[in-house]
Amino acid sequence: MDALLALLKLPAAERPSRLEAWFEAAPDRDVAARFLAKVLSAMEHRPFSAEGSNATTELLAFLDVERMRFPLDEAAEACTDPVAQAALWGHAATSSLLRGELADIPYCYASKAVLANPASESLWEIYLDSLRGDSTGFFEDWPDWQAMAVAGQLDKSIPERALAAAKAAAVDWSEEDRARLDELASGRV
């Protein structure tokens, strides 16, 4: 844990590569991914302040770094525990959102997170936040999720919650995308 917390003391530009090196050196990548998820969870409620940083918690300071999403995604891919995996993808999405990356990037991670752990309210909040800036991924995924739910391959609550999130985020969308969403919600698509 100390090695991961020490990353906060490094210059931000070094943190992603150092996390990647820590992860690569781990004898068991699955165990390391679970440990990383646990450490990040503990950082969520610990206050943080540093000159030049807007972060209020250690987690936000850890995530608000360019390219941090890459080692987090790598850890999620190596993880076999869906809850820890989902948390890591949620953190990757949050990092992308904090850094103002292209809107489809946070959405990709957020959608993986809710599929891995649809019971997590905090991941659904991240999913909603990821939809505020972009709707492209939603329009590509939702019909597939709906079809999978109808076929019994996906919990029916997932496309329902995704649609509810899209409706909440649609206030920030273009008129054209809001019309597409209305058609989708009414079953005309």
In degrees, to the nearest 5, what angle opens at C-alpha 174 toward C-alphas 170 and 179?
Answer: 70
pLDDT tens sequence across 40-74:
999 998 887 766 667 778 898 889 999 999 999 99
Tokens of 52: 């030049």
With beta carbons less than 8 A apart as the criterion, state whether 90 and 133 touch: no
Give the Cα separation of 52 and 118 in Å (integer): 36
Residue 33: partners with Cβ closer than 8 Å, 6 or more residues away: 23, 75, 76, 78, 79, 81, 84, 85, 88
What are the CA-CA distances from residue 126 to residues 25, 107, 165 (Å)?
Answer: 30, 9, 10
Spell out, as residue ranges, where the chain has pLDDT lower than 70: 1, 50-53, 188-189
Nearest-angstrom CA–CA distance, 186 and 188: 6
List the structure tokens of 125.
């909040």
Q: What is the pLDDT of residue 56?
A: 74
Q: pLDDT per residue over 85-105, tens digit each?
A: 999 999 999 999 999 888 789
Instruction: List the domain boundaries for the chain.
Output: 2-119, 135-189
119 backbone dihedrals φ, ψ, rounded to 5°: -85, -10
Distance CA 87, CA 110 (A): 10
